[in-house]
Structure 1
């Protein structure tokens, strides 16, 4: 698959390397592509990257993502799967830029003809592309309104090492705010651990155990 990644930071580069290793054709998109020729990955302008992509990944700072996508234009994005991994944070990382919504929702609202899937924003770039390096299996979430877009995203997650058993579809794009709001807890956990490379796992009650007598 042809995958365009908007952004040239740690996340975009990690995902590009991961998908290229899985056999995909990747291209990084930058506002200043001539200044980003030292990344060991192909880089082009934003418009060229969007035109290249069968799947487009937003890995830009969440506070500017919608503006950047508008610079590409709705017609160029229409019908293209857009995987959003961004989170909008204030400059001091203390507050969300979309406290009563989410970046994923804002993108979907601004580009209604572009199916948006939110995923991978609850972990750092190392965990995104090397889940097997963690101490046991963990969970990656998917939010979006388009079922086929989520299935396609799930296949791309599998190519990064996330088996279907680790993928949890939590509903429509409005559930993206739960993923993004986890960023505040993520930073607290990172501070407590002294590391940003970790992930969470959703653990359910074993059916064999049942409920304690007298409790619902």
Structure 2
């Protein structure tokens, strides 16, 4: 599968190598490839370790992709992706964003309760097939579920398109996830996005961000 991973932050540094290890072709999207290579030393080191990674502008990364991962920061992702609506039409968009400005210590969840980033993306990209997932985890755990409780924890998916959720679920299972819970339509992204407050407070209480949530049946 050809995967376009949009964003060059922590999620990219975890998922891009993991996808390559699974045999997928991976192209990374960024606002300005030249600026990324010149100023983002962490990404430059990643690219050096994984020469198979391609780096392109957002608009050039999406065409030809079987699946697109939104790893752009939450406050910026809707504006960044809206111009790509024609290119994203019909494609599976795996959205891992969180509705929080991490650079602001006083930030609150936005949107929250009556809306979600997942829903905002689906409205802005009506022909894309948005699937919300991975937003209840630290990036390092996304491709290493066994690093927490021997993998005995839950990852969630939300989306209106059953076939798109099946594609994402298959990808998660290939990363080692044993418990993938389909919550229903994209509206249920409100619930997992609101779990971020619980995640932050649990992190503070435990002193580590390597933990997961488990739904016990």
With structure 1 as the length reference, what TM-score do the two structures score?
A: 0.89
CA distance in 2, matches of 1:197, 1:27: 27
Coordinate RMSD, CA, aligned: 1.2
Tell me the equivalent position of 2:41: none
Give the whole-Å Cα distance in 1 for the aligned partners of 2:64 and 2:203.
36
Alignment of 1:46-125 (within 5 A): 46-72=58-84, 74-90=85-101, 91-92=104-105, 94-99=107-112, 100-125=114-139
Aligned position for 1:203: 216
Q: Of residues 165, 175, 186 in structure 2, which corresponds to 1:160?
A: 175
2:156 corresponding residue in structure 1: 141
> SS of the residue aligned with 1:36?
helix
Structure 2 distance, partners of 1:203, 1:54, is 33
CA–CA distance in structure 1, aligned partners of residues 21 and 185 of structure 2: 30
SS of 1:113's partner is: coil
| Offset at residue 121 of structure 1 (A) | 0.4
- After superposing the two structures, state which structure 1 stretch, 154-163 or 89-98, moved more: 89-98
Matched position secondary structure for 1:51: coil
Which residues of structure 1 form unaligned runs of 5+?
Answer: 205-216
State the aligned residue count. Answer: 201
2:40 alignment counterpart: none
Shift of 1:63: 0.9
Separation in 1, partners of 2:161, 2:106: 31
Cross-structure match for 1:213: none
Residue 30 (str. 1) matches residue 30 (str. 2): yes
**TM-score, normalising length from structure 2?**
0.89
- Tell me the CA shift for residue 150 of structure 1: 0.3
Q: Which structure: greater helix fraction? A: 2
The corresponding residue for 1:172 is 185
**What SS does structure 2 have at the residue aligned with 1:13?**
helix
